[in-house]
Amino acid sequence: MKITDIQTTVVKVPVSIKIGAMPRFAATGTFVTIRTDEGIDGTALTHFSFSDIALATYVESALKPVLLGQDPFLVEAISKTIYNYTNRIMFGIPQATSVVEVALWDIIGKSLHKPIHKLLGGHKEKVPAYASFLFWMLPMQLANTTKVAMDQGFKAVKIRIGKSLKEDEECIKAVRGVSPDLRIMVDANSAYDNVKDALKLADICSKYDVEWLEEPLPSDNIDSLSELRSRSCVPIVGGENDFGVYRFREILEKKVYDIIQPDVTRSGGYIAVRKIGGMAESIGVKCVPHIFGFGLIAAANLQMIGALSNCEWMESPFFPREFYLTKQLMTPDREGFVEIPQEPGLGIELDWKAVNKYKIR
Ligand SMILES: [Mg+2]
């Protein structure tokens, strides 16, 4: 089998997002489709990006010449070649190189008529999901949205915080008020800037029986995160903004997180996250892939989750399902579990009609 073409499709849906330390940003993504001489195509999707046009141009001008003529089954060799081409500087554009790897696995799975998790060494057929809210909300809105999520089957929610200790406590309190049994995660998206405040935040989380505190400090500040983790009474988690095996080795060696969150669409693809997950497993750290964005990102990471023995959760972006842009919606059952798709490759079909509706390039 040989790769014959690579195409990109950029979409933007009418949703903007405001969380943590980040300015408001648009919900966008780039689909990367790899075609082969055997008529089997693989498609994967990038995470929201600051510039999808730059990303799509990078795929078509820099990565396409490397990929043409290659055998998609030599996926590790292709990844190494790209890594070396980019002077090992975080894979050039990590999101672009990661989704190329994911698209290759989509081809491999379709070619072998198996879902990717079974080719990586299957571990589970379903996983508990938590509804991951996309926006900052006021306490009352948060409580109402939590009720909507629970009506849909979710037994756990993740809320966005990071305004101030006082406002954050009001948000957490409002959600805890909805149900004493609800599992609650909180994500500050790097909003706080010092260990002292982050420790006060951890104490607030403990008071309301919060499951984990995610990215309370800038994700690059791993020494401060490590100090925080050693003193915090709630688990500290993160890793969505970290890329590749060397970075995660450093994170694990410095005991930065109780749970790491590499994302296959950002952190190098399946083989990289398999290795990262294995390193974490060897020292008793959980590996719960990050998921944020349209449906194909959830599909890609859900296949990884299906193969990881140290992953106990799926992050389910609480997005209007019409913006999933996929035919299957990966919704939870009444027990709060989402099934790992069993169809070949990513196991989820893209809704090209919806994709074309929001296509901007
Ligand atoms: Mg997060």
Looking at the predicted structure, is the pLDDT value of residue 239 above 70? yes
**Percentage of residues in the chain having pLDDT higher than 90:** 90
Average confidence (pLDDT) over 132-159: 97
What pLDDT does 21 receive? 80
Last residue of a domain, one of 52, 87, 114: 114
| Ligand 1 midpoint to CA 266 (Å) | 13
Q: Place 16 in a pLDDT band, splitting at 50, 70 and 90.
A: confident
Q: Is the pTM of the predicted complex or chain greater than 0.75?
A: yes
Q: Are residues 136 and 257 in the same domain?
A: yes
The alpha carbon of 215 and the centre of ligand 1 are apart by a number of angstroms equal to 7
CA 271 to chain centre: 15
Mean pLDDT, residues 339-361: 96
Rounded Cα–Cα distance for residues 344 and 342 (Å): 7
Do 194 and 337 belong to one domain? yes
Give distance in angstroms: CA of 66 to centre of ligand 1.
32
335 alpha carbon to ligand 1 midpoint, in Å?
24
**So what's the pLDDT on residue 26?**
86
Mean pLDDT, residues 129-155 taken together: 96
290 CA from centroid of ligand 1 (Å): 7
| Spacing, Cα 77 to ligand 1 middle (Å) | 31
Rounded to the nearest angstrom, the distance between the alpha carbon of 192 and the centre of ligand 1 is: 14
Residue 21 CA to ligand 1 center (angstroms) comes to: 12
Predicted confidence at residue 90, as pLDDT, reads 67
List pLDDT tens digits, range 290-309: 999 899 999 999 999 999 99
- Compute, in angstroms, the gap from residue 355 CA to the centroid of ligand 1: 25
Residue 361 belongs to some domain of the structure: no
156 and 88 housed in the same domain = no
The answer on 131 and 84 residing in a single domain is no
Query: Span 55-70, mean pLDDT?
Result: 96
- Output the CA 261–ligand 1 centroid distance in Å: 8
| Distance separating alpha carbons of residues 257 and 255, to the nearest angstrom | 6
Average pLDDT rounded to a whole number, residues 254-269: 97
Structural domain for 189, as ranges: 118-345
Q: Which residues contact 219 (CB under 8 A, 6 or more apart)?
A: 190, 225, 238, 239, 240, 241, 242
Q: Is residue 267 part of a domain?
A: yes
Q: How far is the CA of 104 from the centre of ligand 1 (A)?
A: 26
Same domain, 282 and 136: yes
Between the CA of 296 and the centroid of ligand 1 the distance, in Å, is: 18
If asked whether residues 94 and 136 sit together in one domain, one would say no
Please give the tally of structural domains in the chain. 2
Question: Does residue 318 belong to any structural domain of this protein?
Answer: yes
